[in-house]
């Protein structure tokens, strides 16, 4: 587990939306989904 994955998870929890969380983290939505899945 990496800190970046935790940051992504927190962004999803804050926004309640994967697309908005990905925009907030400046990554693509599929990359965000893969990072969350890896947790």
Token reading at 4:
């970046």
Which pLDDT score, from 0 to 100, does residue 11 have?
98
Which pLDDT score, from 0 to 100, does residue 9 have?
97
pLDDT, one tens digit per residue, over 1-39 is: 799 999 999 999 999 999 999 999 999 999 999 999 999
- The answer to whether residues 5 and 39 touch, using CB atoms and an 8 Å cutoff, is yes
d(CA 26, CA 29): 9
Which pLDDT score, from 0 to 100, does residue 12 have?
98
Q: Which domains does the chain have, with CATH numbers?
A: 3-38 (1.10.10.10)
Which pLDDT score, from 0 to 100, does residue 37 have?
95
Which pLDDT score, from 0 to 100, does residue 15 have?
98
Helix 3-15 to helix 29-38 angle (10° resolution) is 110
């Amino acid at each position: 587990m990496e800190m970046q994955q935790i940051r992504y998870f927190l962004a999803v929890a804050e926004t309640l939306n994967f697309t908005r969380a990905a925009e907030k983290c400046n990554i693509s939505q599929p990359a965000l989904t893969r990072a969350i899945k890896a947790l």
